[in-house]
Chain A
Amino acid sequence: MMLIGLLLLPFAGGVLAWLLERALPKSARAVSALTLLAGLAFSFFAWQSGGKSSDLEDWWLLEWRADWLPQWGIEFHLGLDGLSFVLVVLTYVMGLLAVASSWSRVLNNAGFFYFCTLWITTGVLGILLAIDLFLFFVFWEAMLVPLYLLTSMWGYKDRAFATVQFFIFTQASGLLLLLSTVVLVFVHHAQTGDFTFDYNALMGTSISGSLQTWILAGFLVAFLVKLPAFPFHVWMPPLFSEGPLAPLLTGIMVKTGAYGLLRFALPLFPESSIRVAPAMMTLGAISVIYGAVLAFAQSDPRKVLAYSTLSHMGLILIGIFSHNELALSGVVVLMITQALSTGGLLMLFAHVRESVHEIDLDKLGGLFKVVPGVGVLALMFIMASVGLPGLGNFVGEWLVLLGTFGANKVATMLAASGLVLGAIYSLWLMQRMFYGELKGAPRIADLNKGQLSIMGAMVVVLLWIGLYPAPILDIVAPSWQDAATQEDPGDEPSELSTLGDA
C-alpha cells in the first residue's frame, strides 16, 4: 500500500499544482516543493516500517502487487529494497533541487511546468520500484513524454534537435529492451510453462550461453544509452545545455541506466554478464578518458559537466561489471554523490545564466570578484567532483577502484587516470570561470539566503557521506549478498572464467 502511495504522490501533487496555478499564481512551485518533501518523509517512514509479512517474497522489504493483464502474465508489481530505497531518496532530493532551481525563474504556464517535473519524478520512481519487467519497460519509456514536453516548451534555443535526438535514441533502444524482455519471458515459459514477467520468477531461468548473451545485449543497449556510455552518449551534451532542468536530468534520469544494469542486467544473466565484462569495462574506460578529454575542450560549462558525467558514468560502468561487492557499493555512493555535485554545479550555472544569458567560458571570467557565494560553492562542488578525500565522491571512487582492481587491473588503471584528468578539466573550468580577469559579467546577483542554504545543505551532505558513508553502505549491502543468484562476488579471475563455461 505504501509503495503505490509513494509512487503516485508526486503525480497527484503535480496535478494539484497544475490546477491550483490557475486560481493562485505562483502556488504551483510551493505545492510541488511540499509534495516532494512529503514524499521524502514518506519514503523514510516506509523504510522504517518495512516489515515482512509471511506471504511476500523474502527479498523485498516492501512489496505491492495487483493484477493488470493476467492473460499476458503482467502484474502491477512494486518492490523496495536497499538499493531502490537509496535511489528513491535521491530522486526525491533531486526533484526538490529541480523545483528549487526554477523557483525564481519566470515561467509562462508554470502549472504545467511543475506538473511535467513531478510527472518525470513519478516516472523515475516507477522505474525504481517496478519489479515486473513489463511495468519496468512501461515506466522506462513513459518517462520520455514529460521530458520531451518540458524541453520543447521551456528549453533554450537549440532545444528541438537535442530533444528529438534524445527521443529517438531512447525509443529505439527501448524497443530492443522490449524484444529482449519478451524473449526472456518466452524462454522461461518454455522451461516452466509459466508465462510471467515477474522479476523473482524470471531470476532463476537458465538460458544457454549464446542466447543469454543476445538477450543481455538487448538490455545492455537500452541501459548503455541511458547511462550514458560511449558511444551512445551523443544525446547528452546538447540536452544538458538546452534543457531547462539539467539538475533533474543528471540526478535522476542518468541514474536509471545504472540502476537498470544493477537490478536487471547482472542478476538475470549472470554468466553472460561475466562474459561481456571485459568488453563493458573497455567501454567504461573509453568513456572515462573520452569524457575527460572532451570536457577539457568545451567552452560551454554545462557541456563540460555533461562530458564530466560521461566520464563518471564510465567509472560506474567499470564498477558494475567488476562483479565485486565493494565496487558495487562504491557505484551506488558514486551515483549519489555525483548527482549532488554535478547537480549543484548545474544549478549554479543556471543561476549565472539567468543574469548573463549566455554562458561561454571564452567570454566569462573572474566571477569570484562579483559573486563570491557562487564561487565558493562552485569550488566545493568541483572539489567533490574531482574526488577530494573527505567528500563523498572520493568514497565512491575509492571503493570502485578497490573492487575493480582484483577483476581487471588494466581497466582500474585507466579509470584511475580518469581521476587525474578529472582534476585537470575541473580545475581548468574553475580557473577560467571564477579566477583571473573579470570580463563579460556586468551584473550577476549573488545567491540569496534560500539558495545558499540549499546548496550549503548539499555540501554538508557530501561531507557527511565523505566522512561517514557507513549508513548508506549498510543499507545497500544486502542487495548484493542476500539473493543467492546474484552476481558472484569473486575477486579471482580464475573463478570467474570457470563460471563462464558453466
Chain B
Amino acid sequence: MNELYSLVPLIIVGAASLVLMLSASFCRSRSVSLGIWALACVSALVALFGVNGSPAQEVGEMLLIDNMGRVIMQMVLLASLVVGVFAFDYLKGKGEHAEEFFIALSVSTLGAMVMAVSQHFIGFFLGLELLTVPVYCMAAYFDQHRKGLEAAMKYIVLAGASAAFLLFGMALIYAQLGTMRFDEMAERLGPMWSSGHVILLTGFALMIVGIAFKLSLAPFHLWTPDVYEGAPLPVTAYLATVSKGAMMALFLRFFAKVGAGEIEALSSMLSFIAIVSMFGGNWLALMQRNLKRLLAYSSIAHMGYMLVAFLSGGPLATGAVMFYLSTYLVTSLLLFGVLIALDKGHSETETLEDLRGLFAARPVLASMLVLGLLSLVGVPLSAGFMGKYFIVVAGINAQQWVLLFSLVASSALGLYAYVKVVLILFQARSLDSVVALSSYRWTRVMLVLLTLGSLLLGFYPSPVIELIRAAI
C-alpha cells in the first residue's frame, strides 16, 4: 500500500495524459487542456509536498522514491507547468490546437519523473525514452515550419544514436556485473573492477557518451544549437530545463549510488568533457547573432559548470548540483518566457536585431531579460551567481584546481556574449518596434513569478538550500 502512495505523483501525471486524450475527443479547447494539465501538476506537487521527509520507498525493482527524487520531481513538475503555460499562450497566438501538445508534454514529464526516481537500468532507459520521444512530436508540432521539422529530424537521428550508445554501455556493464540495479552494482563493482576492467570501463564510457549527448556536453553537443533554434520556443524551453534537469539528476544518482566516482579513468574523461564544454560553449556563444542559439551554447557551458560540481564529489557536490539546477531552471524559463512574451505572431523574436532598443519600448520585459542574462553571467545577487558560488565552494573543498581555473577563465571568456545582448537592449530604438500581444496574459503572470523566484534565489537562497540539504 505504501508503494501505491508513493507512486501517486507519477500516477497523477500518467492519468493526466489519458484524461487529456479523452478530453481531446470530446471538446477541443486549449483552456481545458491547460486546466487539466495545471490541475495535474498542482495535485502532484501537493502530493509530493505532503510526503516530504518520509522514508524512501522502493517500488518494484525499478523505482526508489527517496527524498532527493521527490525534490527533483517537484522541480520537474514546476518547470513543466511553466512550460505548459508558455505553450498555451504561444499556441493560442499561432492559432493552433493545443491538446496534442499537452498530451506529449504530460507523457514527457512522466518520463522525466521516472528518471528522477529510477534505480535500475531499465527504469533509466524507459524514463529516457518516455522523455525524449514526445519531444520529437513537440519540436515538429508546426508542420508548416521547415525549421521545426529539420530540428525534429536532427534530434531523432542523434538521440536515437546516443540511445544506442547508452544501451550498449548498459549491456556491457550488465554482462560484467550481472545486475541492473544501482545498489547491487555498487556492491559488485569493487571486486569486479580488477578482473573485468576493460569491459566495465568501456561500458561506463559508452554510457557517458549517451548521457553527455542528452546533457549537450561537448563534444556531443552538436545537436543543441540547431534543435534549439528550429524548435518552437516552448519546446526549446522544455528541452533546456526539464530534459536536462532530469538527465543531470539521474546521472548524479547513478554515479553516486554506484560509486563510479572512484574510477580514475572516468573522472579524467568527465574532467575533459567539462573543460571542453565550458570553453567551447562560452567561446562559441560569442559569435552568435540569434538569441536562441546563444542560449543553446550558453547551456553547454552551464552544463560544464555543473560537471565541475559533480566531479567534486561528496554531499557538498550533490547540493551544489541540485542548487545550480534550480537556479538554471529559473533563469532559463525566465529568458525563454520573455522571448515568448515578445512573440510577433508571424515569426519569433529570436535575433539580436529584434531586441534592439527593447528597453525603451518594453522596459519591464527588457529588465527581466537583463536579470536573466546577468544571472547567466553570474553577477552577484543574481540566482546564477549563488549557483556558481556553491560550485566554487564544492570545487575548492575537493581541490579541483584545474577545473576551477577553467571555470573562471571560461566565464570571463563568455562575458562579452551576454554583455553584448544587454548593450543592444539599451541602444536606440529600431523602427520595427516589438509589441507584446495582449493575450499573453498567463505568460506574463508566470514571468513575474519567475522574476520573484530569481530574485529570491539571488538575495536569500537559504530556504531553497535548506530544502535541498534536507533531501540529500
Residues of chain A having any CB pair with chain B under 8 Å: 68-72, 137-138, 140-142, 144-145, 148-149, 152-153, 160, 163-164, 167-168, 171-172, 175-176, 178-179, 182-183, 186
Q: Given A70-B462, A72-B393 in contact, is the A179-B404 Cβ separation under 8 Å?
A: yes
Q: Which A residues lie within 8 Å of B466 (CB)?
A: 71
Interface on chain B toward A: helix, strand, loop, or mixed SS? helix
Residues B386-439 near A (CB distance < 8 A): 389, 392-393, 396-397, 404, 408, 411-412, 415-416, 419-420, 422-423, 426
Q: How distant is A230 from chain B, measured CB to nearest CB, in Å?
A: 20
Contacts A172-B408, A176-B408; A137 near B419 (Cβ below 8 A): no
Interface residue B380 (Cβ < 8 Å from any Cβ of A): yes
> Is B465 part of the binding interface, using a Cβ–Cβ cutoff of 8 Å?
yes
Verify A171–B412 contact, CB threshold 8 A: yes
User: Which residues of the other chain, A, contact B374 by a CB distance below 8 angstroms?
Assistant: 145
Supposing A138-B381, A145-B374, A168-B412 touch, asked if A186 and B397 sit within 8 A by C-beta, the answer is yes
Contacts of B185-239 to chain A: CB distance below 8 A: none
Taking Cβ atoms with an 8 Å cutoff, the residues of B that contact A are 374, 377-381, 385, 389, 392-393, 396-397, 404, 408, 411-412, 415-416, 419-420, 422-423, 426, 460-462, 465-466, 469
Cβ distance A433 to chain B, nearest Cβ, rounded Å: 33
Q: Which residues of A contact B380 (CB under 8 A)?
A: 137-138, 140-142
Q: How far is the CA of A149 from the CA of B366 in the complex (A)?
A: 13
Q: Provide a sorted-by-A list of 8 A–B residue pairs whose CB atoms are within 8 angstroms.
A: A71-B462, A140-B380, A142-B380, A149-B426, A164-B416, A171-B411, A172-B415, A182-B396
Query: How far apart are the CA atoms of A179 and B462 in the complex, in Å?
Result: 21
Identify the 3 closest CB pairs spanning chains A and B, nearest first.
Answer: A172-B412, A138-B380, A141-B380
Q: How far is the CA of A140 from the CA of B389 in the complex (A)?
A: 15
Residue of B385, B389, B469 contacting most chain A CB atoms (<10 Å): B389
Known: A142-B381, A179-B404. A163 touches B412 (CB 8 A): no
Beyond contacts A72-B393, A168-B415, A168-B419: 4 other A-B pairs, Cβ-Cβ < 8 A, are A71-B462, A137-B380, A141-B379, A148-B419
Residues of B within 8 Å of A179, CB to CB, are 392, 396, 404, 408
Asked if A160 and B412 sit within 8 Å, CB to CB, the answer is no
**Are A163 and B462 in contact, with the CB atoms below 8 A?**
no
Main secondary structure of the interface of A (DSSP, over half): helix
Q: How many A-B residue pairs have CB under 8 A?
A: 71
CA distance A183 to B392 in the complex (A): 9
Which residues of chain A have C-beta atoms less than 8 A from B381's C-beta?
138, 142
Name the residue of chain B whose CB is nearest to the CB of A71.
B465
Complex Cα gap A164–B379 (Å): 14
Bound CA–CA A143/B171 (angstroms): 54
> What are the residues of chain A within 8 A of B462 when measuring CB–CB?
69-71
Contact A168 B416 (CB under 8 A): yes
Q: Determine the chain A residues whose CB is within 8 A of the CB of B377 once the complex forms.
A: 171
Is there contact, CB below 8 Å, between B379 and A145?
yes
**Contact status B411-A175, CB under 8 Å:** yes
The listed residue (A72, A137, A163, A183) touching B396 by CB distance below 8 A is: A183
Expressed in whole angstroms, the Cα–Cα distance for A163 and B423 within the complex equals 9
Instruction: Establish whether residues A164 and B420, one from each chain, have CB atoms under 8 Å apart when the complex forms.
Output: yes
- Report the nearest A residue to B377, measured CB to CB: A171
Nearest A residue to B386, CB-CB: A69
**CA gap between A243 and B101 in the complex, in Å:** 50
CA–CA, A140 and B415, complex, Å? 17
Are A178 and B415 closer than 8 Å at their CB atoms? no
